[in-house]
Every structure is written in structure tokens, then in C-alpha cells.
Amino acid sequence: MSHEGIRRPVCRALPGALLALTLALGVSGCASGPGYTAPALPETAGGPFASQPPQVDAGSPPPADWWRLYDDPALDAIVQEALSANTDLRGAMANLDRARAIYGEARGAMLPSTAVTTGVTRGRDQTSWDGQGQAPVQWNYTGGLDISYELDLFGRVRREMEVASGDAEATAAAYDGVRVVVVAETTRAYVDACAYGASLDVARSSVALAQQALDVVSHQERAGAASRLDVERSGSLLAQARASVPRLQARQDAALFELAALMGRTPAQVPESARACGKAPDIADVIPVGDGTAMLRRRPDIRQAERRLSADTARVGVAVADLYPRVVLGASASLLRNDYLRGDRTVSFSFGPLISWTFPNMTVARSRVAQAKAQGAASLARFDGVVLTALKECEQSLGAYEGVVKQRSALVQAQAHAENALGLAEQRYRAGAVSYLDVIAAQDSLIRAREQVATADQQVGSTRIEVFKALGGGWKERPAVE
């Protein structure tokens, strides 16, 4: 990974204040500190991902509104409400507004500063009295106007603008990152609620199956065709089937409460469309994932880290600029009028450069330069780490998705075999070829197989959303801060 985030300084130290003043009068200015070049991405990140499940399409990237691939109007409405009411997004937007305001303040430093003063007094002024005796009481009118403008010869103000701009763009990327998380977690909560609803239907059907079996064997016991042991075993199976219902209900409620919080609602305001959902939404086509390079350009956390690196590089320039003099052009005009001062005698003005040199604090200034450089190096390392983490998360999510899809396929086959086994066991039991214990065992296998398929459905849905989240889907690129 190329570490080109910081280059050599543009301006070098000057020998003295005289040369600085000469530059102030004859040079348009230069930028202090290192220039910035965005670090290169790893060459091995290009091309398709290493994990290529058969259910994905590497030829096209995921759309920004990827949740619409589910073609579920209820989900669309829920996501839109979450995007407008989620508290984390509201806080991130407030942070972005603040960062933009800070950038506006930094831009304002390029404009002249002005100060206006006025005053009216009444009294004796011995300095303006040229007569004999005591000076008379009189009105005095004063006014003043001061204008100052810093010549940004060494780019301090421009570097501070770059710092504020980089911070604002990093904050905008952080907002986009929150948006990705909110969209993904809202969709996950909705899909989980629907999946647990489907699991509840499966559990209730298993209870009905076990209840039917218990009724049959109880009738047979009264007729003398079954033993009490068969009844107890059948009753145990029914109790186990009933035990799964409250557990699944609690999980569905937890998903619904999570969904309400993501939408900015209280737990009592769970959307009815999610509560009534009894089947998890699915995507008809394969998942569009694109390639690694497109993902790295798309993920907000990578853009945030890159903009932080840019801002921290500019902070080095701000610190370096403090090693140079500051040249300020100033102009002032004043007015003093009373009964004895009139005409041209009442007006005065001045204009000239004001030079401030930070020589007494050179040790402090150089220490701040070292601090800024260390912070830039840390930001570069952080950027490299974010890139590697993004690649890792995408590969892990794709690999996990492939695993749960294959697992579900195998569990569906197992459920089909369990259904066939139960049918055969019931037939052979009625023919007297097997005991009722074999029927109970077949029922237990079918109930467990149904539960495993329902759990796999929930895992597939959740892992699919994790893929979209790792790919950075769910935001639209915004223009740079200007």
C-alpha cells in the first residue's frame, strides 16, 4: 500500500524578518507544510472478490436503495421513516451542520476584519482649550474605524481552510456511514421479525401435529391398542413443541422493539405491517456485489479516513506556518469633534503593515509541528487499517452467506426426508409392523427439521443484509464541501 499521503514542504524557512517583509511586499504567497496526495489503494483489491458464492453477481454494484430489491412496499415505507426519524442520523446531521459552520468560519478569515467605535461625551477638555481661565463644558463626538487584513504569504489561512474542509467532508462521510448502518439494521430488524413470525407459524403447526398424535394415541390407549408409555412419550413431544413458541415470540418481540427504536418510535408504536408479517421477504434475483475497487470507493468509512488524513496533513501546514512571521496590513481613521476642533483638524488616519514574529515561542511551535506530523502518520495508518478491514468484512460476509445458503439447502432436503419418514412410520404403525415409538421418533425428527429450516431462513436473511452492509450500500455520493 503506497504511503504518499504526505509530501515535502512547499515553503522553506526564511533567514530573517527582513526577508519576510520583502516577500510580503513582492510575493503573492505560498503554502507552508507538506502537500497532500491521496494514498493509493492496494493493487490486489481490484477485480472480483475472492469469495464468489453462486448467488451473487460480480458484474454490477449494489444500488443505493438496495432494500428495494426485496420488492416489499412495507419495508420501503419503514426504511424511509427510519431515514427521516432515526436519532443517530439526526445527531450525525447536527454534527455535519456544525462542521460546515466551522468551515464557513475558516473561509471568513480570508476577508478583512473591521472594528467601528463611536462615542459622545460632555465635559471639560483642557487640552482643546486655548483661551484664558477655566475651560468651558462642551460636547465631544468621537468615532473610529479600524481595518486589518492578514497577507496569507505562507498559507496559514489556506491550510486552516483545508483543515476545516477535510473535517467537514469527513463528517459528511461519517453521516453516510451512519446511514448505511441505519438502513441495514432497519432492514435486518424487519426481516428478522418476519422470519420469527414464520418460525412461530412452523412452531404452532408442530404443536398441532403433536397434539393430533397425542389425541390418537390416547384414544388407542383407551381402546387397549396402545400403552401408557406411548401416551407419556407423545405428551412429552407435545410439551417440547409448545416450549418453542414463547421463545420465538420473545425473539420476534425483540426484533419489533429494535425496529421501532430505529424508526424513532417507542416500543408501543411498533408498525403493524411488521407485526403481522409472517414470511421473510426474499430477493428473486442474485445479489449484485460488484468488485473490490468499487467497494473501496463506495464505503463511507474509507472516505472518512481519507478525508481525516487530508485534514491532518493540512494541520501540519498550519503548525509550520507558525514558524514564519505574520504580516498584517492595517488602516485606521478617527474623528474627534467638539466646539473648538472643526474641519480637517477633527480627522486622522493611518495605514501600514503590522508584523508579528513568534520567535519567543519557536520551541513550542516546533513541538506543535512534530505533534501534527505524528497525528498525520497515525491517520495514514488508520486509513490503511480501514481499507484492510473493509476488504476483510466483504470477504467474510460473502463466505458466510455462501455457507448459510448451502446449509439451508441441505436442511430443506432433510425436512423433506423427515416428512417422508413420518408418513412411512404412520403407515407401518397402522399395519402393525412398527411400534408407536417409531412414529414418535419420526414426528420429533420432522419437528426439529422444520425448526432448523426456519432458523436457517432467518440466518440467510440476516447474512444477506450483512453483505449489503459490508459493501457500503445505502447512501448516495454528495458533492464536496465548498
| 103: Cβ contacts below 8 Å, ≥ 6 apart | 161, 164, 165, 167, 168, 481
Cα–Cα distance between 214 and 228 in angstroms, integer? Answer: 11
pLDDT in the model for residue 477? 59
pLDDT at 79 over 90: yes
pLDDT in the model for residue 267? 94
Cα–Cα distance between 316 and 121 in angstroms, integer? Answer: 50
The more confident residue out of 139 and 186 is: 186
pLDDT in the model for residue 458? 92
Please, which pLDDT band fits residue 153 given cuts at 50, 70 and 90?
Answer: confident
pLDDT in the model for residue 128? 54
Q: Residue range 449-466: average pLDDT? A: 92
Cα–Cα distance between 73 and 278 in angstroms, integer? Answer: 15
pLDDT in the model for residue 30? 63
How far the first Cα of the chain sits from its last, in Å, is 30
For the stretch 26-68, pLDDT in tens is 444 566 778 888 898 877 777 788 888 888 888 888 888 999 9
pLDDT at 97 over 90: yes
* Contact indicator for 32, 148 with CB cutoff of 8 Å: no
Please, which pLDDT band fits residue 20 given cuts at 50, 70 and 90?
Answer: very low
Q: Residue range 391-415: average pLDDT? A: 94
DSSP state of 286: P
Residue in the structure block whose three cell numbers are 408418513: 423
Please, which pLDDT band fits residue 233 given cuts at 50, 70 and 90?
Answer: confident
Residue in the structure block whose three cell numbers are 467638539: 338
pLDDT in the model for residue 117? 85
Q: Residue range 117-134: average pLDDT? A: 67
Q: Residue range 360-385: average pLDDT? A: 89
For the stretch 300-310, pLDDT in tens is 999 999 999 99
The angle subtended at Cα 95 by Cα 91 and Cα 101, nearest 5°, is 145
Cα–Cα distance between 179 and 175 in angstroms, integer? Answer: 6
Q: Residue range 360-375: average pLDDT? A: 85
The more confident residue out of 262 and 286 is: 262
Quickly count: other Cβ atoms within 10 Å of residue 49's Cβ.
21
pLDDT at 298 over 60: yes
Distances (CA, A) of 245 to 138, 235, 305: 95, 16, 46
- Listed range (132-136, 201-205, 272-276, 357-361) with the worst mean pLDDT: 357-361
pLDDT in the model for residue 352? 58
Cα–Cα distance between 374 and 321 in angstroms, integer? Answer: 17
Cα–Cα distance between 345 and 334 in angstroms, integer? Answer: 11
| Mean pLDDT (the chain, rounded) | 84
Q: Residue range 103-111: average pLDDT? A: 87
pLDDT in the model for residue 10? 44
pLDDT in the model for residue 347? 62
Rounded to 5 degrees, φ, ψ at 285 are -95, 180
Cα–Cα distance between 379 and 284 in angstroms, integer? Answer: 42
| 208: Cβ contacts below 8 Å, ≥ 6 apart | none
Q: Which of left, alpha, beta for 29 (phi over 0: left; psi -120 to 50: alpha)?
A: left
**423 CA to centre of own chain:** 53
pLDDT at 118 over 90: no
* Contact indicator for 319, 289 with CB cutoff of 8 Å: no
Long-range pairs for 44-51: beta carbons < 8 A, 24 or more residues apart: 45/292, 45/293, 45/296, 45/387, 45/391, 46/291, 46/292, 46/293, 47/291, 47/292, 47/293, 48/291, 48/292, 49/289, 49/291, 49/292, 49/394, 49/395, 49/398, 50/395, 51/395, 51/398, 51/399, 51/402
In CATH, what is the architecture of 27-110+152-324+363-471?
Up-down Bundle (1.20)
Cα–Cα distance between 128 and 166 in angstroms, integer? Answer: 57
Cα–Cα distance between 180 and 174 in angstroms, integer? Answer: 10
DSSP state of 69: G
| Residue 349: strand, helix, or coil | strand
